[in-house]
């Protein structure tokens, strides 16, 4: 009995008709006669960004349901074209949207969570000998409204279908040939990792390594799906994201990540009394604004500053909410800064090594980079710095922790 293979191709891999034909050839090559193939695709190139810009040209406050109606169109274009390209190669193929394959989600538009996948039409089409092409990034509520799964969400569609169909292989094809020790577009001597554990990948993804969407890694870990990240344009094996095991590298730090999509907001001279933080973050939470790092100083004169980071796209909304709140609680005011970036070091080896954070801070200080905020987890340390130093910081940290390719 042949294998059931799920492949996902990202936006840059299907950016134009030639690239779609190339993907069709690649799929056809993988599709040995007794294999069953399910192919998930993203919107072409920067289509999703274009759709977001269109919405922004209409309103600064789009209705999330309508936003999903708009965003889901991108992937529908690609599935139709890829199915045609496969048919042109003489391969029977059939495309489906997320709703058509029974991908049900909750009602949180623009970042919905998957609840269940029925996949009846996929199974029927596979039984009929077809290559099944599925639109990534989209699903529907139990009421039948279209939803999307958050930016980068086609990765999640791929992993979730692999879990639901009990696929033998889940391959994520992209424009780099695997998961690297840092973004290879920023660090020229970054090294490809042969294997990386779910926990490290999850931390890297949530701290900015957009090669995999973090929720897709969470899902892969939960259902034990091994994910192979590899290049659309080269045949070489890529990186296996899988359970931690002894054959993995034993470096203290596995990778350096950066995230330029954040902003920093501070509420100045807040009265230091019980309930204030609850009021501030409760107010933001009520508007579905997710904050990341939070820092509160000790107070000297009964007043303190509270700073936090959040996705840059939510900054204006947060400022509006906080302006009202600041008046209510008697704070002096609110200031925001978009020119920040978060740089992080990640590695399971940190669990058992001391002094790793100190090496990070020393590197920053040697480069003359001021650290504005710090946060840590069991396997990561992150610093918020001025945006213009991002590349410098990532490269310097990559050197400090000796992550580069072995030089001959
Ligand atoms: P796709 O369109 O295929 O989903 P993405 O643009 O979402 O691709 O993700 C691939 C990009 O992720 C790469 O082009 C690379 O710049 C970036 N990236 C960031 N960090 C890493 C990393 N550690 N390893 C590999 N790629 C990374
Ligand atoms: N097209 C969506 C995005 O750009 C989903 C994806 O590419 O994974 O975020
Ligand atoms: Mg992506």
pTM score = 0.94
Lowest-pLDDT choice from 94-98, 167-171, 293-297: 293-297
**Which ligand 1 atom minimizes the distance to the CA of 182?**
23
- 247: pLDDT confidence band, cut at 50, 70 and 90? low
CB atoms within 10 A of CB 19: 18
Q: Which ligand is nearest to the CA of 78?
A: 2
Strands (E), 236-379: 239-242, 255-259, 262-271, 294-296, 303-311, 333-337, 340-346, 373-377
Give the helix/strand (H/E) hosting 120: helix 120-127
Rg, the chain, Cα only: 23
Q: Which ligand is nearest to the CA of 151?
A: 2
pLDDT at 349 > cutoff 90: no
Between the CA of 69 and the centroid of ligand 1 the distance, in Å, is 26
Q: Are 178 and 184 in contact (CB under 8 A)?
A: no
Ligand 1 lined by 211 (C-beta under 6 Å): yes
One-character DSSP codes across 183-247? -TTT-TT--B-SEEEHHHHHHHHHTT-TTS-HHHHHHHHHHT--EEEEESS--S--EEEE---TT
| Cα angle: 242, vertex 246, 251; to 5 degrees | 90
Between the CA of 254 and the centroid of ligand 1 the distance, in Å, is 16
Give per-residue pLDDT as tens, 204-241: 999 999 999 999 999 999 999 999 999 999 999 999 99
Q: Are 212 and 270 in contact (CB under 8 A)?
A: no
Give per-residue pLDDT as tens, 19-55: 999 999 999 999 988 899 999 999 999 999 999 999 9
Q: Are 247 and 317 in contact (CB under 8 A)?
A: no
- 248: pLDDT confidence band, cut at 50, 70 and 90? low
- 150: pLDDT confidence band, cut at 50, 70 and 90? very high
What is the per-residue pLDDT for 267? 94
Q: Which ligand is nearest to the CA of 12?
A: 1
Between the CA of 261 and the centroid of ligand 1 the distance, in Å, is 14
What is the per-residue pLDDT for 406? 65
Ligand 1 lined by 185 (C-beta under 6 Å): yes
Ligand 1 lined by 15 (C-beta under 6 Å): no
Q: Are 36 and 126 in contact (CB under 8 A)?
A: yes
């Amino acid at each position: 009995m042949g294998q059931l293979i799920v492949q996902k191709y990202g936006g840059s891999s299907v950016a134009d008709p030639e690239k779609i034909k190339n993907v069709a050839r690649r799929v056809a090559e993988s599709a040995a006669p007794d294999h069953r193939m399910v192919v998930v695709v993203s919107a072409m190139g920067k289509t999703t960004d274009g759709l977001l810009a269109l919405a922004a040209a209409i309103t600064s406050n789009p209705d999330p349901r309508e936003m999903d109606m708009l965003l889901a169109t991108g992937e529908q274009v690609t599935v139709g074209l890829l199915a045609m390209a496969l048919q042109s190669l003489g391969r029977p193929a059939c495309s489906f949207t997320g709703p058509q394959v029974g991908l049900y989600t909750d009602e949180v538009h623009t970042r919905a969570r998957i609840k269940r996948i029925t996949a009846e039409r996929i199974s029927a089409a596979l039984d009929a000998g077809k290559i099944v092409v599925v639109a990534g990034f989209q699903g529907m509520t139990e009421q039948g409204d279209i939803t999307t799964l958050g930016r980068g969400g086609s990765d999640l569609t791929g992993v979730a279908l692999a879990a639901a169909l009990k696929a033998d292989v889940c391959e994520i094809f992209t424009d780099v040939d695997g998961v690297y020790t840092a973004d290879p577009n920023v660090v020229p001597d970054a090294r490809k990792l042969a294997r990386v554990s779910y926990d490290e990948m999850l931390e890297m993804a949530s701290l900015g390594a957009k090669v995999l969407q973090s929720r897709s890694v969470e899902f892969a870990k939960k259902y034990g799906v091994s994910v192979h990240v590899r290049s659309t344009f080269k045949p070489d094996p890529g990186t296996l994201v899988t359970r931690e095991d002894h054959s993995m590298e034993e470096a203290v730090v596995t990778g350096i990540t950066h995230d330029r999509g954040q902003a920093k907001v501070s509420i100045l001279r807040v009265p230091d009394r019980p309930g204030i933080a609850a009021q501030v973050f409760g107010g933001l939470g009520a508007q579905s604004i997710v904050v990341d790092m939070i820092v509160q100083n000790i107070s000297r004169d009964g007043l303190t500053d509270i700073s936090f980071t959040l996705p840059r796209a939510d900054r204006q909304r947060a400022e509006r909410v906080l302006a009202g709140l600041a008046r209510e609680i008697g704070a002096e005011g609110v200031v925001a800064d978009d020119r920040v970036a978060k740089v992080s070091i990640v590695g399971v080896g940190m669990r058992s090594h001391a002094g790793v954070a100190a090496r990070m801070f020393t590197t920053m200080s040697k480069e003359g980079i001021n650290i504005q905020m710090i946060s840590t987890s069991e396997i990561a340390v992150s610093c918020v710095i001025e945006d213009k130093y991002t590349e410098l910081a990532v490269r310097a940290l990559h050197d400090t922790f000796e992550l580069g390719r072995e030089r001959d």
